[in-house]
A and B are shown apart, each in its own frame.
Chain A
């Protein structure tokens, strides 16, 4: 069976510090991978998605970047965090095809102070 791992679960970082959130998927190959951010009362915002190694699509221009160095690894990064980067970050994977839903990781609660 497929599983998705996301870490850390919580993170408190000062403004201006770097960020690295990691997500890995097991039990499948060539998954589509996604990073979403959830802010209070604003639903989920798609940040990045990837259909293959090294292929990253950005949905929202901002302070963040994503990389996919391996087939089942997806990393969300920032060189300098802003207060507005605080939120709940969710990684997800899906198979290719419009009828497939996503399987989400357990999320990372990021607080920038």
Chain B
């Protein structure tokens, strides 16, 4: 069975400060992990993905995430927040077992103040 838990439903930061969005996963098989971003009333855009290669994954718009198997975590970070980063972020897991679909976390809303 797979599941993903986003530990914060809402994160608020000031522009120029670091961003940390936390995610823990559970998977019976070696997982692939993803972060997606969704701006209001828009579809979802892939930020980055981990697929058993390098544990530190760099994505678009300056975001990165580190896969830590011992902690079953895949936290998303960015050194300096920008106003345009305000959006909802989803952590997603997909088991490497054939035939499985993506399982989404409930999302974290990121607010960025000036």
Contacts and interface: CB of A to CB of B under 8 A. Distances in A.
B101 A49 contact: yes
B97 A98 contact: yes
Nearest to A9: B41
B34 A46 contact: no
B101 A90 contact: no
Chain A's interface size range is: 20 to 34
Contacts of B99: 51
Contact of B43 (A34, A46, A98, A105): A105
Interface residue tally on B, bucketed by range: 20 to 34
Interface string B60-102: 0000000000000000000000000000001010111111111
Contacts, number: 60
A67 interface: no
Contact of B44 (A49, A99, A104): A104
B34 A101 contact: yes
Interface in A89-113: 90, 92, 98-99, 101-107, 109
Nearest to A105: B43
A98 B98 contact: yes
Nearest to B41: A109
Interface string A4-39: 001000000000000000000000000000101000
A4 B105 CA distance: 23
A59 B51 CA distance: 25
A44 interface: yes
A43 B95 contact: no
Contacts of A103: 46
Interface in A33-81: 34, 36, 41-44, 46, 49, 51, 59
Contact of B96 (A34, A36, A42, A98): A98
A46 B97 contact: no
Contact of A99 (B32, B103, B107): B32
A55 to B, nearest CB: 11
Given A43-B90, A90-B43, A104-B43, A98 B100 contact: yes
